[in-house]
Amino acid sequence: MIVRYSPLLACMTLLLGACSQESPIEAEGNAVANEAVEVGAIVQNSVVNVLDEARDAAIDVAAGDRKAVNVALAAPQPPGWGGTVDVFKEKEIALDPIADADSLRQPGEMGCAFVPDGRDEAVMVAKAEVNPAARAIAVISNDGVRERLASAVAGGFGALSQGTRLVGQGVAADIKLTSRVSLTPVGQQSSYPASLAVTAGKERKHVFAGRWICGLHK
């Protein structure tokens, strides 16, 4: 049997075949788009890697100056200033109120305290000499156990009051002022909106919003 194709059917077949093929311009456009997606993915991954490296480097800076930190941590302190123990090891990041915050610092000492929003008691208390070469000492508590921290870099009370990093055993606490407008009239004490970021190891992190209250302890 002889099968005959009509001219109209033949034309339609040719048209469909032409439509199913990419033109050189379309092919080039698709190649450019795919390349842009690949470049975007590479850039995104590079940014993520840089951020991860920066985060790890920030912890390594404290580790690089660990000798001075350890000396500050080992210096004799009055009762209540905690010990060199990792209070967040295998535990959730939670901060107990420091019930005796007002009595930890001696009269005439300069220091700061972090009070989270919605709470009345400090969860971190710190002190430092008015000496650029001095390191601040701080204390935090988790699950009833207190850990002593020391500032990762020297700077004395000036650096402490402006926000700084304090480190302990496997934990870092970063104070950052979120506003330069004091919540109270600046006199012997100041109170600034701030955040406290507690990092346990290199993965677990919790950020608390609150107030960073600094000044002379009476």
Which pLDDT tens digits describe the chain residue by residue (218 residues)? 444 444 443 434 433 344 445 555 555 555 544 554 343 443 333 333 333 333 343 444 445 488 899 999 999 999 999 988 888 887 889 899 999 998 898 888 999 999 999 999 999 999 999 999 999 999 999 989 999 999 999 999 999 999 999 999 889 999 999 999 988 887 778 999 999 999 997 778 999 999 999 998 87
Give, as one character, the DSSP assignment of residue 23. P
* Residue among 25, 135, 132, 138 at smallest CA distance from 69: 135
Please name the residue that has the structure tokens 């200033």: 81
Residue 28, number of CB atoms within 10 A of its CB: 11
Q: Are 170 and 93 in contact (CB under 8 A)?
A: no
> Which pTM was predicted?
0.69
